[in-house]
């Protein structure tokens, strides 16, 4: 899947030094909000700006999510679930376990999709290869 030019620009900004600053701001915001913050709330605090109505078009939201991803990859227990919008720092083992189970469920669904695509691709490739055609 290809990335948009805007997303590529966002990644360049993050990896040019913005990411560590963003991670720190996100962590500080979450430490000040024990009940958690929504994505819009994080944009307001971290960027000190009002988020767009449609977060799908807000590059600051994408940056927040990349910052959360990076913090999680460092082992910071930032919990979220599909059932409730937002993020919070949470060291409660039950909540972390719930988040891990949700991620495992996503992995299982994605693996099923990968397996189905591989099956289709190998069938498709076999049929075209036998007829001398190229994919």
127 versus 33: which is more confidently predicted?
Answer: 33
110: pLDDT confidence band, cut at 50, 70 and 90?
very high
- Looking at residue 6, its pLDDT comes to 87
- Looking at residue 24, its pLDDT comes to 97
Residue 107 backbone dihedrals phi, psi, to 5 degrees: -60, -45
Alpha-carbon distance of 47 to 62, in angstroms, equals 12
Alpha-carbon distance of 77 to 98, in angstroms, equals 12
pLDDT tens-place string over residues 30-71: 999 988 999 999 999 999 999 888 888 888 999 999 999 999
**Whether pLDDT at 135 is above 70:** no
Alpha-carbon distance of 59 to 71, in angstroms, equals 18
Query: Whole-prediction pTM value?
Result: 0.74
Report whether 37 contacts 45 (CB < 8 A).
yes
108, two tokens: 């299982």
């Amino acid at each position: 899947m290809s990335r948009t030019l805007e997303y590529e620009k966002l990644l360049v900004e993050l990896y040019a030094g913005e990411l560590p600053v963003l991670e720190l701001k996100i962590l500080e915001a979450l430490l000040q909000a024990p009940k958690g913050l929504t994505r819009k709330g994080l944009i307001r605090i971290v960027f000190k700006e009002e988020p767009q109505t449609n977060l799908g078009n807000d590059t600051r939201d994408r940056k927040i999510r990349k910052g959360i991803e990076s913090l999680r990859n460092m082992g910071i227990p930032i919990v979220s679930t599909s059932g409730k919008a937002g993020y919070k720092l949470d060291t409660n083992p039950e909540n972390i376990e719930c988040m891990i189970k949700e991620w495992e469920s996503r992995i299982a669904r994605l693996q099923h999709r990968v397996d189905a695509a591989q099956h289709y691709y190998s069938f498709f490739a076999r049929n075209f290869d036998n007829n001398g055609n190229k994919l």
